[in-house]
Structure 1
Amino acid sequence: MVDQYLAGKYNVAAPRYTSYPTMPYWDTAAFSLTGWEDSVKLSFKESNGTDGLSLYIHLPFCESLCTYCGCNTRITKNHTVEIPYIDAVLTEWAMYLQMMDEKPVIREIHLGGGTPTFFSADNLNDLIKGLLKDSVVHPRAEFSFEAHPANTSFDHLQTLYELGFTRLSLGIQDFDPKVQFIINRDQSVEQVTAITQQARQIGYTSINYDLIYGLPLQTVEGLINTLEIVSKLMPDRIAFYSYAHVPWIKPGQRRFTEQDLPNAEAKTRLHKIGVSLFKSYGYHEIGMDHFALPDDELFMAEKSGNLHRNFMGYTQQHTRLLIGLGVSSISDSYNAFAQNVKTVEEYLQLVNSGKLPVFKGHLLTDDDLIIRQHILDIMCKGHTEWHHLAVPSHAVAEGIQRLQVLANDGLIELSPGGLTVTPLGKGFLRNICMALDARLWANVPTTQLFSMAV
């Protein structure tokens, strides 16, 4: 009863905190392209020789619209879009190369979307070879890509593996036919099984399944059946996301209504069942929404205190500089964020005219950097400390006051020097971080900007 009471109390609109400040609170007026380029150059100079950099490439095309999806996508069956888009991504990368005074050391590459496997294996080969042509691959580099089980071929797996990819993420969501129909996401158990087995035979060392709870028409029985299938395939990692219902941002979600969604109580039950089953299968809970087997590097990173979180999600490697290429991609230079334009046409037009396709961003203040680190520590380590601050900033001090309510509810243990998330609080990380979100509390939204926390 206590868990259900807290779920109701804390079921408020809350950011997922892949960044701080969150995007609605970026100070775009103070941002400039020159300031962004200067920040990239500084970050590259300070970290390339030690950490290297990460690349995220957004490949937006999908052949059909998955109605649950909150990503920036372009729906088309016209595959002639592939080569012009890849050429533009490589041209954008060349613009960043001009800001660097030595060859970049590539520590991470992640292909996201959209559907990266919309692109042919040959075209993905050209993309990756083009990115690496004037770069150095870090000896501990990790390359990963997202894949739709319904269109991922053996050629995709083999080609990308030969280019250095060892991590694969399959978007499954739910195997229940009724759920798959209403979210327009059709893939069979046989397809997922075949891709998983092929990837392991080829040599992939980490396979992730994306699953979602709180989907329309989702039931306890259907979720349990999905997870029993997953337990037979035993992916190395599982991302178990809460469905984010934001139809005012993603009109495709209007195919169904709130009446089709599990209510907060039912959604909480789905989450608890999922977490319980994952643990019974031998998975360990990692940060927020993630689970890993004990021999997976994500679990080892959490145990060693090296877990990191950025716009690509949780990672076991930390680079100061993350460059996002492609439409709507977000970059992070540690001191600044920048986002590319959101439509394919504008992206192609800007890049092909020799202009960096950034349209907005944020330069982090001293307070931003302090709060960002606290939020990262909460999300990745389950604790944070401020005892090293001689005098906490006004923004942090106000956040500490707001945290007292969460401490009273048993979600955190609060001390003069910091906080520790309790086992009960692991399900409320977004709420805990929100208490420290100075920019949100300075300008409380009058309309809903974020999905619900539960």
Structure 2
Amino acid sequence: MNKSLVNKYNIAGPRYTSYPTVPYWNDNTFSVEKYKQSLITSFNESNAKEGISLYIHMPFCESLCTFCGCNKRITKQHDVETPYIESVLKEWNLYLNLFNEKPIIKELHLGGGTPTFFNPENLKKLIKGILKDAVLAKGHEFSFEGHPNNTTKAHLQALYDVGFNRVSFGVQDYNSTVQKAIHRIQPFENVKRATETAREIGYLSVGHDIIFGLPFQTLEHVEQTILKTKELGPDRLAFYSYAHVPWIKGNGQRGFKDSDLPKAELKRQQYELGKQLLMEVGYHEIGMDHFALPSDSLYKSMQKKSLHRNFMGYTASKTQTMIGLGVSSIGDSWYGFGQNVKVIEEYYDLLEKNELPVYRGHILNNEDLVIRRHILNLMCSFETSWESEHMYFPEIPEVLIKLKEMEHDALLEIHAKSINILPKGQPFVRNICMAFDLLLQRKTPDVQLFSMTV
């Protein structure tokens, strides 16, 4: 990767798991009632055709990983499990009361925190409670994030028994110095055991998450991690840049000094090396930061141009309605976003009052919806078009002026009514999306809100 391009385009920018991005949500025009109505509209339009997605946030961890930017509660007290599960099921019932028919669940993802903090029987109880008043879609995809150190055969079997067919394990890096810095000590043997056990049970897709740009991480560390990953051959990989945002995430990302982090040029070299090694053994790059084998549903989705992106990252199929359950979880009706309160006690209190625990969100206007489609196209297909009248917006000429420099740098091609991102420009897809982000253009933040794009 050209060093001058890295220096030129390495600026703070969103990861675009949503548009508008969370800092640009308009709380003044948002209300829980409006969000409920947007969910009802979306559900009525889409449930019978494509089903819905569920994201359930499981916030508890036994120890703090200092690279993590997720909402979590650190505790070793497992008596927190039952009240949390009961509250999530109560929240789910509040959503069920909005709908006039049983939801058809197409996708379900358990994230965290550490979902495998919960014992297998409690996880089973949670999922059975969710499915009791729902229909399981044909070809459904249920997945969870597993910590290799504490994901047991019992966890994997229990979740498989209630419909789970995909699991992703957080690997990050196998080097002991890096692991110590991020407070995530896990031997290769633990990852190997968890991966092989999942396959023995029958999981269709096993994924690994690997991060570059971690403190003290070198090119050699990335190479060794990828080589060990090749031994296990996960079906898909998230290989992404560490998002250093301690001003947002607080002390959890202050377990090391800023000077301990690789500089932008080294980070890009780490990515290019990892990408080369992965592609040599048959992985294909999917959108931004993801790789998959040709047998995996994510690759097949990319080939069929049905790849989708939301708060869960890239998904193999689209559902218009995504309901977020659990503390800090975000839901998406396509016409609106709603985020739950971030403090567990407040979450419990609102549910005791039979109130949805949503505390902020955004209702999309017509402009938002058009820009959202363009950014989704760029993030999922590396191209977008405004040939259809409903995809045109008045600021298109200004967007193209902003993209001219990137066209000069051979990152993309501009056509009469479309653009496509060239292979050289794919690592800079976030920068290209930023040219379409009208809210960002109209109000540049006074302080840094986002991680660096490179």
Whether the 8 Å CA contact 1:217–1:262 is kept in 2: the answer is: yes
Whether the 8 Å CA contact 1:56–1:110 is kept in 2: the answer is: yes
Q: Which residue is 2:209 aligned to?
A: 210
1:345 lines up with 2:314 in the alignment = no
Q: Which residue is 1:443 aligned to?
A: 443
CA separation in 2, counterparts of 1:181 and 1:132?
Answer: 40
CA deviation after TM superposition for structure 1 residue 390, in Å = 7.8
CA separation in 1, counterparts of 2:169 and 2:390?
Answer: 46
CA separation in 2, counterparts of 1:238 and 1:286?
Answer: 10
CA separation in 2, counterparts of 1:380 and 1:410?
Answer: 20
Which amino acid in 1 is paired with 2:120? A
CA separation in 2, counterparts of 1:200 and 1:76?
Answer: 30
CA separation in 2, counterparts of 1:370 and 1:403?
Answer: 18
Whether the 8 Å CA contact 2:170–2:210 is kept in 1: the answer is: yes
Which amino acid in 1 is paired with 2:41? L
CA separation in 2, counterparts of 1:411 and 1:343?
Answer: 43
Which amino acid in 2 is paired with 1:267? K
CA deviation after TM superposition for structure 1 residue 252, in Å = 1.5
TM-score by length of 1: 0.98
CA deviation after TM superposition for structure 1 residue 403, in Å = 1.5
Q: Which residue is 2:49 aligned to?
A: 50
Whether the 8 Å CA contact 1:371–1:396 is kept in 2: the answer is: no
User: Where in structure 2 are there 5+ consecutive unaligned residues?
Assistant: none
TM-score by length of 2: 0.98
Mean alpha-carbon deviation: is it higher for 245-254 or for 416-425? 245-254
1:15 lines up with 2:33 in the alignment = no
CA separation in 2, counterparts of 1:392 and 1:128?
Answer: 42
Whether the 8 Å CA contact 1:367–1:395 is kept in 2: the answer is: no
CA separation in 2, counterparts of 1:175 and 1:335?
Answer: 42
Secondary structure of 2:102 counterpart: coil
Q: Which residue is 1:374 aligned to?
A: 374
Q: Cα distance 1:98–1:391, how it changes in 2: closer, same or farther (>3 A)?
A: closer
1:319-368, CA deviations, whole angstroms, 9 ceiling, x for partnerless residues? 11000000000000010000000111111111122110000010101110
CA separation in 1, counterparts of 2:396 and 2:420?
Answer: 16
CA separation in 2, counterparts of 1:106 and 1:294?
Answer: 26
CA separation in 1, counterparts of 2:244 and 2:390?
Answer: 42
CA deviation after TM superposition for structure 1 residue 3, in Å = 1.7
CA separation in 2, counterparts of 1:216 and 1:420?
Answer: 35
Q: Which residue is 2:409 aligned to?
A: 409
CA separation in 2, counterparts of 1:134 and 1:117?
Answer: 24
CA separation in 1, counterparts of 2:390 and 2:16?
Answer: 27
Q: Which residue is 1:272 aligned to?
A: 272
1:181-203, CA deviations, whole angstroms, 9 ceiling, x for partnerless residues? 01000111111111111110100
1:136 lines up with 2:135 in the alignment = yes
Q: Which residue is 1:328 aligned to?
A: 328
CA separation in 2, counterparts of 1:402 and 1:342?
Answer: 37
Q: Which residue is 2:167 aligned to?
A: 168
Q: Which residue is 2:93 aligned to?
A: 94
Whether the 8 Å CA contact 2:370–2:391 is kept in 1: the answer is: no
1:281-336, CA deviations, whole angstroms, 9 ceiling, x for partnerless residues? 11000000000001111101001111111110111111110000000000000100
Q: Which residue is 2:152 aligned to?
A: 153
CA deviation after TM superposition for structure 1 residue 391, in Å = 8.9
1:30 lines up with 2:37 in the alignment = no
User: Where in structure 1 are there 5+ consecutive unaligned residues?
Assistant: none
CA deviation after TM superposition for structure 1 residue 255, in Å = 1.4
Secondary structure of 2:158 counterpart: helix
Q: Which residue is 2:313 aligned to?
A: 313
Which amino acid in 2 is paired with 1:407? E
CA separation in 2, counterparts of 1:131 and 1:189?
Answer: 34
CA separation in 2, counterparts of 1:92 and 1:443?
Answer: 35
Which amino acid in 1 is paired with 2:54? L
CA deviation after TM superposition for structure 1 residue 401, in Å = 2.2
Whether the 8 Å CA contact 2:370–2:392 is kept in 1: the answer is: no
Which amino acid in 2 is paired with 1:365? N
Count how many residue pairs are aligned between Structure 1 and Structure 2: 453
1:257 lines up with 2:257 in the alignment = yes
Q: Cα distance 1:134–1:287, how it changes in 2: closer, same or farther (>3 A)?
A: same
Q: Which residue is 2:117 aligned to?
A: 118
Q: Which residue is 1:453 aligned to?
A: 453
Mean alpha-carbon deviation: is it higher for 249-258 or for 202-211? 249-258
CA deviation after TM superposition for structure 1 residue 16, in Å = 0.1
CA separation in 1, counterparts of 2:167 and 2:100?
Answer: 33
1:67-102, CA deviations, whole angstroms, 9 ceiling, x for partnerless residues? 000111111101100000000000000000000001
Secondary structure of 1:337 counterpart: strand
Which residues of 2 match residues 408-427 of structure 1 at below 5 A?
Answer: 408-427=408-427
CA separation in 1, counterparts of 2:357 and 2:205?
Answer: 33
1:258-303, CA deviations, whole angstroms, 9 ceiling, x for partnerless residues? 1100111111111111111111111000000000001111101001
CA separation in 2, counterparts of 1:416 and 1:330?
Answer: 37
Mean alpha-carbon deviation: is it higher for 348-357 or for 93-102? 348-357
Q: Which residue is 2:292 aligned to?
A: 292
Secondary structure of 2:42 counterpart: helix
CA deviation after TM superposition for structure 1 residue 9, in Å = 0.4
CA separation in 2, counterparts of 1:285 and 1:393?
Answer: 31
CA separation in 2, counterparts of 1:448 and 1:367?
Answer: 25
Mean alpha-carbon deviation: is it higher for 129-138 or for 407-416? 407-416
CA separation in 1, counterparts of 2:434 and 2:262?
Answer: 24
1:40-83, CA deviations, whole angstroms, 9 ceiling, x for partnerless residues? 11111111111110000000000001000011111110110000
1:395-423, CA deviations, whole angstroms, 9 ceiling, x for partnerless residues? 33322221122111111101111100100
CA separation in 2, counterparts of 1:287 and 1:207?
Answer: 19
Secondary structure of 2:447 counterpart: coil
CA separation in 2, counterparts of 1:397 and 1:97?
Answer: 44
CA separation in 2, counterparts of 1:102 and 1:309?
Answer: 26
Whether the 8 Å CA contact 2:87–2:351 is kept in 1: the answer is: yes
Mean alpha-carbon deviation: is it higher for 406-415 or for 49-58? 406-415
